[in-house]
A = this chain, B = another copy of it.
Amino acid sequence: MNRPDLGAMLMRLARQLLAVEQPILEKHDISMWGYAVLTGLGDGPDEPMRTQAALARSIGADKTRIITTLDELQRRGLIEREPDPADRRVRLLRLTPAGRDLLTATQTAIRAAEETVLAQLPPADRRVFLQALQSLSDAAG
Protein backbone atom coordinates (compact mmCIF):
# COMPACT_ATOMS: atom_id res chain seq x y z
CA MET A 1 0.00 0.00 0.00
CA ASN A 2 1.91 3.00 -1.25
CA ARG A 3 -0.05 6.19 -0.71
CA PRO A 4 0.55 9.79 0.35
CA ASP A 5 0.29 10.62 4.04
CA LEU A 6 -3.26 10.76 5.33
CA GLY A 7 -2.80 14.34 6.49
CA ALA A 8 -1.50 15.43 3.10
CA MET A 9 -4.45 13.91 1.27
CA LEU A 10 -6.92 15.48 3.68
CA MET A 11 -5.32 18.90 3.39
CA ARG A 12 -5.31 18.74 -0.38
CA LEU A 13 -8.95 17.77 -0.61
CA ALA A 14 -10.01 20.27 2.05
CA ARG A 15 -8.20 23.01 0.15
CA GLN A 16 -10.06 22.14 -3.01
CA LEU A 17 -13.37 22.15 -1.17
CA LEU A 18 -12.64 25.60 0.26
CA ALA A 19 -11.81 26.88 -3.21
CA VAL A 20 -15.03 25.46 -4.61
CA GLU A 21 -17.12 26.92 -1.80
CA GLN A 22 -15.55 30.36 -1.76
CA PRO A 23 -17.50 31.76 -4.75
CA ILE A 24 -20.73 30.28 -3.36
CA LEU A 25 -20.22 32.01 -0.04
CA GLU A 26 -19.48 35.30 -1.78
CA LYS A 27 -22.57 34.95 -3.90
CA HIS A 28 -24.63 34.53 -0.74
CA ASP A 29 -22.78 37.44 0.87
CA ILE A 30 -21.51 35.47 3.85
CA SER A 31 -17.99 34.78 5.12
CA MET A 32 -16.66 31.32 5.91
CA TRP A 33 -16.78 32.02 9.63
CA GLY A 34 -20.21 33.56 9.25
CA TYR A 35 -21.41 30.39 7.56
CA ALA A 36 -19.78 28.26 10.24
CA VAL A 37 -21.62 30.23 12.92
CA LEU A 38 -24.98 29.93 11.15
CA THR A 39 -24.38 26.21 10.76
CA GLY A 40 -23.43 25.86 14.42
CA LEU A 41 -26.62 27.63 15.49
CA GLY A 42 -28.83 25.82 12.99
CA ASP A 43 -27.66 22.28 13.58
CA GLY A 44 -28.72 21.52 17.11
CA PRO A 45 -32.16 21.46 18.73
CA ASP A 46 -34.36 24.53 18.50
CA GLU A 47 -33.24 25.96 21.82
CA PRO A 48 -30.85 28.90 21.77
CA MET A 49 -27.18 28.22 22.35
CA ARG A 50 -26.33 29.36 25.82
CA THR A 51 -22.84 30.86 25.50
CA GLN A 52 -20.61 32.24 22.77
CA ALA A 53 -17.75 30.14 24.10
CA ALA A 54 -19.77 26.95 23.58
CA LEU A 55 -20.61 28.00 20.04
CA ALA A 56 -16.96 28.78 19.34
CA ARG A 57 -15.87 25.40 20.66
CA SER A 58 -18.49 23.58 18.60
CA ILE A 59 -17.18 25.03 15.37
CA GLY A 60 -13.50 24.74 16.29
CA ALA A 61 -12.85 28.43 16.78
CA ASP A 62 -11.46 30.60 19.56
CA LYS A 63 -14.06 32.56 21.50
CA THR A 64 -12.33 35.83 20.65
CA ARG A 65 -12.28 34.96 16.98
CA ILE A 66 -16.03 34.87 16.41
CA ILE A 67 -16.95 38.13 18.11
CA THR A 68 -16.66 40.39 15.07
CA THR A 69 -18.54 37.74 13.10
CA LEU A 70 -21.35 37.72 15.66
CA ASP A 71 -21.39 41.53 15.62
CA GLU A 72 -21.99 41.57 11.89
CA LEU A 73 -24.52 38.74 11.81
CA GLN A 74 -26.49 40.53 14.51
CA ARG A 75 -26.26 43.87 12.70
CA ARG A 76 -27.61 42.22 9.56
CA GLY A 77 -30.50 40.67 11.48
CA LEU A 78 -29.37 37.10 10.89
CA ILE A 79 -29.00 36.13 14.54
CA GLU A 80 -30.44 37.19 17.88
CA ARG A 81 -28.03 37.74 20.73
CA GLU A 82 -29.36 38.82 24.11
CA PRO A 83 -28.25 38.55 27.71
CA ASP A 84 -29.67 35.58 29.58
CA PRO A 85 -32.01 37.02 32.24
CA ALA A 86 -30.94 34.24 34.59
CA ASP A 87 -27.23 35.10 34.25
CA ARG A 88 -26.56 38.35 32.52
CA ARG A 89 -22.95 37.45 31.75
CA VAL A 90 -24.25 34.93 29.23
CA ARG A 91 -25.48 35.73 25.71
CA LEU A 92 -28.31 33.61 24.33
CA LEU A 93 -27.77 33.03 20.61
CA ARG A 94 -30.26 31.89 17.99
CA LEU A 95 -30.98 32.22 14.29
CA THR A 96 -33.61 34.69 13.12
CA PRO A 97 -35.95 33.53 10.32
CA ALA A 98 -33.76 35.51 7.89
CA GLY A 99 -30.69 33.73 9.25
CA ARG A 100 -32.40 30.37 8.86
CA ASP A 101 -33.30 31.24 5.28
CA LEU A 102 -29.75 32.28 4.42
CA LEU A 103 -28.36 29.14 6.04
CA THR A 104 -30.73 26.93 4.08
CA ALA A 105 -30.05 28.62 0.76
CA THR A 106 -26.28 28.61 1.24
CA GLN A 107 -26.13 25.05 2.49
CA THR A 108 -28.21 23.83 -0.45
CA ALA A 109 -25.77 25.43 -2.88
CA ILE A 110 -22.76 24.05 -1.03
CA ARG A 111 -24.18 20.54 -0.95
CA ALA A 112 -24.74 20.73 -4.70
CA ALA A 113 -21.11 21.76 -5.20
CA GLU A 114 -19.97 18.88 -3.02
CA GLU A 115 -21.91 16.56 -5.29
CA THR A 116 -19.75 17.52 -8.25
CA VAL A 117 -16.65 16.55 -6.26
CA LEU A 118 -18.12 13.30 -4.93
CA ALA A 119 -19.66 12.32 -8.25
CA GLN A 120 -16.50 10.56 -9.39
CA LEU A 121 -16.88 7.89 -6.70
CA PRO A 122 -18.94 4.76 -7.35
CA PRO A 123 -22.14 5.00 -5.26
CA ALA A 124 -21.15 2.18 -2.92
CA ASP A 125 -17.68 3.61 -2.28
CA ARG A 126 -19.13 7.04 -1.83
CA ARG A 127 -21.52 5.81 0.84
CA VAL A 128 -18.72 4.11 2.76
CA PHE A 129 -16.43 7.10 2.34
CA LEU A 130 -18.93 9.58 3.78
CA GLN A 131 -19.86 7.28 6.62
CA ALA A 132 -16.23 6.63 7.54
CA LEU A 133 -15.36 10.31 7.28
CA GLN A 134 -18.22 11.28 9.54
CA SER A 135 -17.23 8.66 12.06
CA LEU A 136 -13.59 9.82 12.10
CA SER A 137 -14.62 13.46 12.19
CA ASP A 138 -16.99 12.87 15.12
CA ALA A 139 -14.25 11.06 16.99
CA ALA A 140 -11.88 13.96 16.36
CA GLY A 141 -14.22 16.34 18.15
Contacts and interface: CB of A to CB of B under 8 A. Distances in A.
Q: How many copies does the complex hold?
A: 2
Contacts of A86: none
Contact of A60 (B12, B39, B140): B12
A111 B2 CA distance: 11
B8 A36 contact: yes
A125 B132 CA distance: 7
A85 interface: no
Interface string A64-99: 000000000000000000000000000000000000
B17 A7 contact: yes
Contacts of A21: 7
A27 interface: no
Interface of A: 1, 3-18, 21, 36, 39, 43, 60, 107, 110-111, 114, 117-118, 120-121, 125-126, 128-137, 139-141
16 contacts: A4-B39, A5-B39, A6-B118, A7-B14, A7-B110, A7-B114, A8-B36, A8-B39, A10-B10, A10-B17, A11-B14, A12-B141, A16-B140, A121-B136, A128-B128, A129-B132
